[in-house]
C-alpha cells in the first residue's frame, strides 16, 4: 500500500496496487456497499471500492427535481416484460436507482421502519400460497435487534434511541386527521434518517422538501455524507469512481481471485482481491453474476442452485391524492414526513397475507405533474395541476410475494456500451399483491375523504422501486444463493451486501435492514479474516 495522499478535493486517499490480493473489493457505494466500507475499514481492513458513477459534491446538488433526476439516475438501458402495469407503462425504465457515489441513498425518502417478527418467517407463517415461492429467513428479529439499534444510531433515525421526531407538516396533519377519523391508532411523525438537530457532523434538516434530490442541506443520512468520508479518513479505503465492474473472476480452486472493470476512459483493469462484496443493487448485482459465467459456472457465478435472478421483489405500491378546500402545500417539510402503521400487521381477514404502511407524501410540482397520470392530458388532469397548492397525498408501501418468474435475466441480443448483455426484468403481480392494493386504495380514499377531501385521484404505479431478492438468503443451499451471513453457499470469499439477499420483501422500506445486515456481515467477515478462514 502506498502512503495516503491528498487529492484536489482535499479528501484522504490511498492507492492499492492492482496485484494486491489482500484487499477486500466492494462493488457499489450505497446503503450496503458504503456501510461495508465504513465497517471494515474501522476494523483495520483494507478496502478498494468500485463505483460505476461519478463523485459529486454537495454543491452540485440543486433544488430542482428534473435537473437532479438527470444528474443522479442510472440511465443505462434496461428492458422489462410482464403483465404488471409498471412493465407496460415504463418498459425501458422500470426502476429508479442512482449512478453516483453514495448510490441510491442519495435520493431515498429516509423511512426506517423495523419489521415485525412474522416477516422473517413468511413460509412458516403463510404456509403454502399458490404462485409464491416462500422461504423463511435463516435469522430472526431477536438476533437482528442489536444490529438494528446500531444501524439506527449510525443513521440518526428519529423517534428512537433518544433522537426526537421532526415537527409535523401540513401533509402529516391532514393524514393524521383522516387516520383518526378512520379509527387508526398508530400514526404520526415518521421514523426518518434525517436530522431534526445537528448530529454526527450533519446539519439539521431545512424542511424544504428536496429529500430525493441529493439533499443539499446535508441533514439526510446517506453513505455519501457519512460512511464513505469516514472510510476514506481511516487511510484504508480507496474509492475508484466511474469504474464499471464487468466480471468477477475465480481461480482453479473455485475461489474469487478479483474483478475486471472498465474505467472512465473505457480501459480495462483487473483488481485482485482477498474477497469480494457485491452491493450494486439487485438488478446490477444479478447482471454482474450472470455475466461472470465460466466453464465452472455456466449459468452464472455462484448459481449452482439455479436461483440467481429469481424472486425479484419491489414492494406493493400505490399513490392517491386528495384536493382540499384550503391550501396544504404538501411540498413543505419532508417528502415522507408522516406514517400510519396500523395496516402493517398480519391479519388474513383482510383478504391477503402480509401488511403495508401508509405514508404522507410531499412532491414538488414537476414530479407531481409528471407522475400523477403518465401520458394523460385534458381538462380533468389540468384541474389537478391547478389544484396543486390544495393537494395532499398518500403512498402505500407493502409486502409483495416472491415469484420465481419475477426475475432478472440477460437480454438475448441487446448489449451495453461495454458489449455485455443488458438486464431484462419480468414483472407480474401476484393475486395477494392485487388484493392488498385494492384494500389500500379503498381505505386510502376513505381516509382522504374523512379528512375533508373534495375529490380523490388514484395514480398508477411509478417507476420507483425497492429492488430486492434475486440472490436470496436461505438455510437450504438449493433454495437460495447466500447463507445467513450473505455469503455465497458455494464460493467462500463471495458476499452479497445489498437488498439482493432479502428472502422476503418485508412490508417496510428496506434501507434500514440493508444497513443492519451490512453491519452484521462486516463483523462476521472481520472475525473470519482474523481466524485465517477468509
Mean pLDDT over residues 409-425, rounded?
A: 96
Give the pLDDT of residue 2. Answer: 32
Q: How confident is the model at residue 13 (pLDDT cuts 50, 70, 90)?
A: low
List of residues 6+ apart from 358 with CB closer than 8 A:
175, 179, 187, 339, 340, 343, 394, 395, 396, 440, 444, 447
Would the pTM of this model clear 0.85, i.e. be above it?
yes
The residue whose grid cell reads 443520512 is: 221
512 vs 530: CA distance, rounded Å:
27
The helix (H) or strand (E) run that includes residue 431 is helix 431-450
Query: Strand (E) positions, 421-475?
Result: 421-426, 455-459
Give the pLDDT of residue 209. Answer: 87
pLDDT digits (tens, 9 = 90+) for 43-68: 999 999 999 999 999 999 998 888 89
Query: Strand (E) positions, 312-406?
Result: 316-323, 338-340, 356-361, 391-398
pLDDT digits (tens, 9 = 90+) for 157-202: 999 999 999 999 999 999 999 999 999 999 999 999 999 999 999 9
Percentage, residues of the chain above pLDDT 70 = 97
Cα–Cα nearest to 113, from 526, 385, 513: 513
140 vs 120: CA distance, rounded Å:
6
List of residues 6+ apart from 275 with CB closer than 8 A:
24, 25, 256, 493, 494, 495, 525, 534
Q: Which of 127-131, 151-155, 315-319 has the lowest mean pLDDT?
A: 127-131
505 vs 72: CA distance, rounded Å:
25
Give the pLDDT of residue 8. Answer: 40
pLDDT digits (tens, 9 = 90+) for 75-105: 899 999 999 988 888 888 668 789 999 999 9
pLDDT digits (tens, 9 = 90+) for 215-228: 888 899 999 999 99
Q: Is the pLDDT of residue 530 over 70?
A: yes
Q: Is the pLDDT of residue 489 over 50?
A: yes
pLDDT digits (tens, 9 = 90+) for 376-411: 788 998 999 999 999 999 999 999 999 999 999 999
pLDDT digits (tens, 9 = 90+) for 293-327: 999 999 999 999 999 999 999 999 999 999 999 99
> Mind listing the domains of the chain with CATH numbers?
5-530 (3.50.50.60)
Q: Is the pLDDT of residue 528 over 80?
A: yes
Backbone φ and ψ of 214, nearest 5°:
100, -15
Mean pLDDT over residues 352-371, rounded?
A: 92
pLDDT digits (tens, 9 = 90+) for 495-507: 999 999 999 999 9
> Residue 29 in contact with residue 239, Cβ under 8 Å?
yes
Q: What is the mean pLDDT of the chain?
A: 93
Give the pLDDT of residue 10. Answer: 46
Amino acid at each position: 500500500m502506498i502512503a495516503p495522499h491528498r487529492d484536489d478535493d482535499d479528501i484522504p486517499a490511498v492507492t492499492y496496487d492492482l496485484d494486491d490480493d489482500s484487499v477486500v473489493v466492494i462493488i457499489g457505494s450505497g446503503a450496503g456497499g458504503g456501510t461495508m466500507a465504513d465497517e471494515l475499514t474501522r476494523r483495520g481492513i483494507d478496502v478498494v471500492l468500485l463505483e460505476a458513477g461519478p463523485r459529486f459534491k454537495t454543491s452540485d446538488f440543486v433544488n430542482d427535481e428534473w435537473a437532479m433526476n438527470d444528474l443522479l439516475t442510472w440511465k443505462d438501458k434496461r428492458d422489462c416484460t410482464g403483465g404488471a402495469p409498471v412493465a407496460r407503462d415504463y418498459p425501458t425504465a422500470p426502476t429508479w436507482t442512482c449512478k453516483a457515489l453514495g448510490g441510491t441513498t442519495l435520493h431515498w425518502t429516509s423511512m426506517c421502519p423495523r419489521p415485525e417478527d412474522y416477516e422473517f418467517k413468511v413460509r412458516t407463517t403463510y404456509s403454502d400460497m399458490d404462485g409464491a415461492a416462500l422461504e423463511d429467513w435463516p435469522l430472526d428479529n431477536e438476533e437482528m435487534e442489536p444490529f438494528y439499534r446500531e444501524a439506527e444510531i449510525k443513521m440518526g433515525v428519529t423517534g428512537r434511541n433518544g433522537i426526537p421526531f421532526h415537527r409535523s407538516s401540513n401533509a402529516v396533519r391532514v393524514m393524521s386527521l383522516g387516520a383518526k377519523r378512520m379509527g387508526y391508532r398508530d400514526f404520526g411523525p415518521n421514523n426518518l434518517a434525517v436530522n431534526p438537530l445537528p448530529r454526527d457532523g450533519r446539519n439539521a434538516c431545512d424542511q424544504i422538501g428536496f429529500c430525493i434530490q441529493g439533499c443539499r442541506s446535508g441533514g439526510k443520512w446517506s453513505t455519501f455524507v457519512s460512511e464513505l468520508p469516514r472510510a476514506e479518513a481511516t487511510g484504508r479505503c480507496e474509492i475508484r469512481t466511474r469504474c464499471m465492474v464487468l466480471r468477477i473472476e475465480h481461480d482453479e480452486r473455485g475461489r474469487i481471485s478479483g474483478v475486471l472493470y472498465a474505467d472512465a476512459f473505457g480501459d480495462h483493469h483487473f483488481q485482485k482481491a482477498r474477497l469480494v462484496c457485491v452491493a450494486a443493487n439487485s438488478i446490477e448485482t444479478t447482471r454482474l453474476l450472470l455475466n461472470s459465467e465460466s466453464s465452472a459456472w455456466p449459468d452464472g457465478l455462484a448459481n449452482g442452485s439455479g436461483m440467481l435472478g429469481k424472486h425479484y421483489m419491489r414492494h406493493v405500491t400505490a399513490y392517491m391524492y386528495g384536493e382540499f378546500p384550503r391550501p396544504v402545500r404538501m411540498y413543505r417539510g419532508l417528502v415522507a414526513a408522516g406514517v400510519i402503521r396500523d395496516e402493517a400487521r398480519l391479519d388474513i381477514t383482510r383478504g391477503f397475507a402480509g401488511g403495508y404502511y401508509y405514508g404522507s407524501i410531499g412532491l414538488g410540482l414537476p414530479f407531481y405533474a409528471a407522475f400523477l397520470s403518465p401520458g394523460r392530458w385534458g381538462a380533468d388532469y389540468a384541474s389537478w395541476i391547478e389544484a396543486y397548492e390544495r393537494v395532499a397525498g398518500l403512498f402505500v408501501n407493502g409486502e409483495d410475494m416472491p415469484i420465481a418468474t419475477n426475475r432478472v435475466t440477460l437480454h438475448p441480443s441487446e448489449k451495453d456500451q461495454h458489449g455485455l448483455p443488458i438486464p431484462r426484468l419480468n414483472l407480474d403481480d401476484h393475486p395477494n399483491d392485487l388484493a392488498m392494493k385494492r384494500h389500500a386504495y379503498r381505505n386510502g380514499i376513505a381516509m382522504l375523504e374523512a379528512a375533508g377531501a373534495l375529490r380523490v385521484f388514484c395514480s398508477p404505479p411509478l417507476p420507483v422501486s425497492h429492488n430486492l431478492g434475486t440472490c436470496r438468503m436461505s438455510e437450504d443451499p438449493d433454495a437460495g444463493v447466500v447463507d445467513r451471513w450473505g455469503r455465497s453457499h458455494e464460493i467462500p470469499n463471495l458476499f452479497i451486501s445489498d437488498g439482493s439477499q432479502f428472502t422476503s420483501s418485508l412490508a417496510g422500506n428496506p434501507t434500514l435492514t440493508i444497513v443492519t445486515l451490512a453491519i452484521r456481515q462486516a463483523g462476521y467477515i472481520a472475525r473470519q479474516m482474523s481466524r485465517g478462514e477468509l
